[in-house]
Structure formats: structure tokens, C-alpha cells
A and B are shown apart, each in its own frame.
Chain A
Amino acid sequence: MKRRGLSLLETVFASGLLAGVVFMLFNLYPASALAVRRSQDHLQADQIAQTYVALYQAEPFHQLAQLPNHHSWTLSEVSVEGTNTKFKPSIEVLYGPDGSDPDVLRQLRVTVSWDWVRGPQSVTQEIFLVDLEN
């Protein structure tokens, strides 16, 4: 009798524990998956931004030097194979600090944004480029 009650209690306890753990796991797995996915997207966005930085580093400087201050434009969306995320890069060219020569120094700001389940996300990379084209 005592052994049966214990068995029932044991079963109830085990079931509850199992249910609790399963509940926790059901929440943890998607959260982890989302976090991994988010960091993947973040990494991907960083790589896209860096690609554009490298692209404009390789371009002739005079193409940047002829742009006015705060000139910006949006590029076409970028999709990465294996994901559904659409990355939207935009570029802004600014003058350097006060007193600097805009024919020699420009600031490049690349922003990559994308939509996420919990709202829009973006990464920004900035770099100063100097004319060393001789």
C-alpha cells in the first residue's frame, strides 16, 4: 500500500518534472535557434557592409571626392543563400572632421538593415578613406 502510493507520487513527480523540462526545452530551443539565426544575420550584415567598404576602398578616390557632404543612396537588396533574410544596404559619404580637405579625406558610412521578427535590425560600419592613388 505504502509502496503503491509512493509509486503514484513518484509517477506524478516524474511526469511533472518531465513536463516542466519539456516545456523549458520547447522554449529554449526556439530561443536559441532565434539567437543563432540573429547572430548569423548580424554576421552576414557585417560581412555585406565590409564588402561595400572594401569595394569603395578599391574604387578610384575621385569618385567619392566629387560627392557632396552627406550624399547617400540605397543599394538593391541582398539575399544570402540558405536564408530568407533580405538585407538592405545603404551608403552615405561625408566630409572628414572640420578643417580636413574633402578632396583628400572622406568618411564612408555603410548601413545594412533587415527585418527581424522582433523589429528591424541594422549594423553600421564607418571608415575614413584617404586619397593615396598615385
Chain B
Amino acid sequence: MKRRQAFSLGNTVVVIAVASTLAFTVAAASLNHLNYSNRVSNGIQAQNIAESTLALVTEKLLNEKSEDLGKLREAGSSFTFQLNGGQGFITFNPDQAGKWELPYSTNNLDGPNPVPGYTATKPIPQNSAQLIARGTIGGVSRQVECILYIPPFPYAVATAGPFHSTGKLVVGALDDALPDGEKPAPEEILKANLASNSRDAKALVLGPDSRVSGDVRSAGGVETDETVYIGGRIRPGSDPVKLPQETVTNYDPEHFYDPKTNSYTTRPNLQKVPPGLNNSPKVSGFAKCTGDLNVKGGLELDGGVLYVDGNVIIDGGIRGKGALFVTRDLGLYGSTQMKTDNKVAVVSGGNVSIFGSGQESSMFQGMLWNKGAFSAQHITLMGVLIQADENATTDINDASLYYQSSQGKLDMTISSPGSVDVTKGNIHISALGLPITGIVTGSAVFEVYPTTAADGHWEVVDPNSRQIYSVPNKAAVRDKVKEIWNGSTSGGLVGVGPGGSGVLVVPLTVLGPLFWPNYNAELNDIPAREPGASQMLTPGSSERITIDPNQLLSRKDKVRLLYWRAR
């Protein structure tokens, strides 16, 4: 009896203990579950907040008005965002980053070189931004890091309309300029892409023996045969690629937009090129031709920008460095030999036809953009080709198109001649030593001009020493010029082109005999200037001209996500 009573109580206590343990285990399990689900939920939310913070700052970076965001790493370049009960943090300022115990972000989107990021071992590449954001909610934090990148224009050839090649097309990329008359070895040809935004079934037709080293992408169909080699992927039915859009008339030097005055104005000392036939013109600075232009002997751009409001036919190719804007059609026949310093940007509002004599002997170096049909035959194009008219076709026959990012954009400084008209008078000396009588000239300028002074004296500027000499009259100019030329210690006369751009040495011994018989003609019709108004000494302001297919795209159209990490 005693034993049964004791057993009954003990049994009860044991049962209660077991049941209580179970109860607490269940309660603890459910609490753990709740805690776990809360942490998981907060983790998801924190991740979303961190990603949202990146998105909000990325939108600011893509906004052209705040593209300098964070570059100065100032105190104001830190941001917090409230979202869904949590908070997101991001900063470009190292001090604030230290306070938040968060790595700082770096904006190098416009930078031409890599810069250090938050760790010395991890530099941020050029044209990139490293963004690091943290999201925090309910005691849970997540950090997200990304690198945004603005690549060079990614296509060797991009057309809005159909692209047809009859055969022997080569599309590739080259690291270095192509030596004159040489074809690149197959192993030197790097990957370059070809794209057409046409939705036609025959949007992209590659004829026999064509070679494309990279991707072939089309919004419509792609037609090839078994002799065609494509190194990358064939992507028919793809989304259209973003093509740079431009309005040629925006480049009219007579009606250009001046952001300083927020108005349209004419570029100072704009040179006028007469329409019609021109022999071997050389353009420096800004020039405009109103009407059709027919060029024989090739066009030379010596840091020049030629705007033609009409059609242009050029026989002999384009050489030098500069830009040609044509509102209507352009025909380019013959072409230049390969030279590393040749770089031309052609922007045409109409059709463009380029005809060379062979891929090895004819070359165009630079960027071609046109809003019309495009055709090229027997030529090598080095740079970038963009055809922006969806209703026009690009026809290529026996041509090589080599992508070179350095050739595909033009970046040059043009010196503005200031207020002095240098298109008349002075002694313009061509490379052959002959005075140039045309209006568009760009060779050395031996600066001579009458003054408005009461005594009517003339001034002669030594192009070597840049010293102004005063001579009593026009007849005395010749002796002073001879004296300066004979006294030069550099073996010749160093001349500058109109506007102070370009340098040319003209040796007296070789060129003098050719020069003197003609120089008097150069001294006619020179406008009188204020005494001391030497163009050489006060060449006026210089302007940087950049024509880059990438710049014609907005940041949001070209930025890419290079790297993404969440932790």
C-alpha cells in the first residue's frame, strides 16, 4: 500500500515533468520558428533595401544632370533611403564610410584611367563606377556591391536597316593600326560584332566567303551559306540595339548652340568654302559650304571641321584629322593610304557611297554615321560604321570593316582664330612652298597685315620668335620677310596654320624660289587690323570637339552591369 502510494505520486510527477518538457520544447520550437522566419523575412527585405539603394543611386548617376555625383567625395555625397520600414546606406565619402563601417563607393564613369577603390588591391576600371550599399531592417543587414561600366561602342557595324554583303566581307577588330598595304594576319583579328535592327527576313545577308569574328545580331533574319565563317554567335530575332542618333544640322557652324549664352550663334571666323569644284582643299578650323561641293584631289582636314549644306562628291579620299558634316548625300571615290594620324568623322544626313580600288590599297579611317542608304566597295574601313535609317539598306561588296575604338571616335582641339579674319591675305605657305590662293587654306602662315594706324604702317610677325616687326609700307614687307627667313636658325620658317593650329617648317633654300614670284599676290586685299593684332600671338580660344558614337547615346543606353555581389 505504501509502495503503491509512493509509486502513484512519483508517476504523476514524472508524467508532469515529461509533459512540461514537451510543452516547453514545443513552445521553444515555435518561438525558434517564428524567430527564424522573421530573420529570413528581414534578410529578404534588407537585401531588397540594399538593391533599392543601388538602384536609386544608379538612377542619379545615369541622370546627365548629376553625373558628377560622388566624384569629389564630399560630405554631401552620402545617401540614406527609408524603405519598407528599413534603411539603406551608400556613400562616396571615405569619412562617412568609416562612421557607417561601410566600404565607400567610387564614381569613375568618366575617368580615362583606373582609380583605387575602397581596397588598394581592387582598382576600379576606367569608365566604371563601384557602388556598395547596405540595407538594414530589424537588426538584419545585407550588403550589395556592383560595378557599372560604360563600354566603348560595341559594334563594328550597326545598321538600322537591312545589311547586305555580296561576299568577301571581313568584320573584325584590330588592336593596332593596319600597316600600309597589308592585310592583317588571321590571328591578329579580334572579335567584333555586326548588328542590324531590321526586322526583315533578310535583315542580315552575308555573301560567300564572308568572315565575321564576333556576333552577328539581327532583329530579323540572318542569311548565310556554308562558306561564311562567324566566330561568335548568330542571334536572329534579337532585340534591336541602341543606335546613336544625330541631327546633322546641329553641327551647322553658322547656327551652333552656345551653352554659355544659351543661344544659337555663328562660330567666330567661320571660313566659307564656295560651292562647286574645289581642288585639293585643306581645311583647318571651322568651315562651311552652302551648296553642293565637288572635290578633286582629295580633301585634307587639318584639325578642321567642314560643314556642307548640300551634296558632296570627293574624288581622292579624305585624309588628316577632322570632321565632315554633310546634310545630304556623300560620294567618296578613291581613298587614302593608311596613316596612323588619319582620323575622320563623317556624319551625313543622306546616302553615303564609298568606292575604293581594293581592300589593300584604299582605306577610310574613322567614324561613319549616316541616315540613308550606305554602300561600300573595294575598300577597308577602320573604325565604326553606323547606318541610322531603318528604311535604307547597307550594301557592302568586297570590303573589310575593322573595328578600332580609337579610330571610331574623334577627339580634337580646334583653335578658334578669334576676331581676325585670316582667310584673306597673309602669306599662306603650302607644304610645297607655293602661296595658296584659295580661301580654305591651312598651311603655314607668315603673318603680314596693314594696320589702321594713322601712318599706315604694316606689321610682319616672325613665326619663329613670335615677335611683331613694324615696316613702313607694303613694299618693305618683302625685305623684312627675307630677313626673318634668312635669320632663322631652325633651317626654315616655322609656320602655323590659320587659328594657330598645326606647325609646318618651310625651308627657305628649297622653297624660297617657288615662293617669291608669287608672294605679292598674297599681300593684296588684306584687311587692316589694329596695330599689334597678331593672330599668332593672340590666336583666340580653342575648342575641344568630340564625336564619339558612345557620346551620341545617353548614359542609360550604354551603361552595363559588370559585376554583382550580395552578402
Contact = CB atoms under 8 A, between A and B. Distances in A.
Contact of A124 (B5, B22, B84): B84
B510 interface: no
Given A39-B33, A46-B40, A126 B84 contact: yes
A7 interface: yes
Interface string A62-102: 00000000000000000000000000000000001100110
B41 interface: yes
Given A18-B12, A46-B44, A35 B33 contact: yes
A132 B561 contact: yes
Contacts of A50: 44
B9 A130 contact: no
Contacts of B38: 39
Chain B interface mostly helix, strand, loop or mixed?
A: helix
Interface in B8-43: 8-9, 12-13, 15-16, 19-20, 22-23, 26-27, 29-31, 33-34, 36-38, 40-41
A134 B150 CA distance: 10
B40 A43 contact: yes
A59 to B, nearest CB: 13
Nearest to A24: B23
Interface in A20-44: 21-22, 24-25, 28-29, 31-33, 35-36, 38-40, 42-43
B556 interface: yes
Given A18-B12, A128-B56, A134 B559 contact: yes
B33 A130 contact: no
Indicate the size class of the contact surface on chain B: 35 or more
A107 B23 CA distance: 45
Contact of B16 (A17, A31, A101): A17
Contacts of A132: 58, 148, 559-561
A132 B147 CA distance: 12
A104 B556 contact: yes
Nearest to B4: A7
B26 A29 contact: yes
B30 A35 contact: yes
B55 interface: yes
A62 to B, nearest CB: 10
B27 A32 contact: yes
Contact of B55 (A11, A28, A32, A130): A130
Given A17-B16, A104-B62, A3 B52 contact: no
Contacts of A15: 12
Given A105-B55, A125-B44, A36 B8 contact: no
Nearest to A124: B84
Contacts of A40: 33, 37
Contact of B23 (A25, A36, A97): A25
A8 to B, nearest CB: 10
B558 A104 contact: no
B559 to A, nearest CB: 6
A50 B8 CA distance: 56
Contacts of A22: 19
- Most chain-B Cβ atoms within 10 A of its Cβ — which of A7, A53, A123? A7
A96 B27 contact: no
B34 A39 contact: yes
B561 A105 contact: no
Contact of A32 (B19, B29, B561): B29
B44 A36 contact: no
Contacts of B51: 127-128
Contacts of A38: 34
Contacts of B5: 3, 6-7, 10
B52 A127 contact: yes
Contacts of B37: 39-40, 42-43, 46
Nearest to B11: A14
Contacts of A11: 8
Nearest to A28: B23
Interface in B270-319: none
A28 B9 CA distance: 24
Interface in B57-110: 58-59, 62-63, 83-84
Contacts of B55: 105, 127-130
A38 B33 CA distance: 10
B48 A126 contact: yes
A129 B56 CA distance: 8
A21 B83 CA distance: 46
A130 B59 CA distance: 7
Given A7-B5, A32-B27, A132-B560, A46 B59 contact: no
Contacts of B148: 132
Interface string B335-351: 00000000000000000
8 contacts: A25-B22, A46-B41, A53-B48, A100-B56, A104-B59, A126-B83, A127-B52, A132-B561
Given A104-B63, A127-B52, A132-B58, 17 more contacts: A3-B1, A10-B8, A17-B16, A21-B20, A32-B29, A35-B30, A39-B36, A40-B37, A43-B37, A101-B59, A103-B556, A105-B59, A127-B51, A128-B51, A129-B55, A131-B556, A132-B561
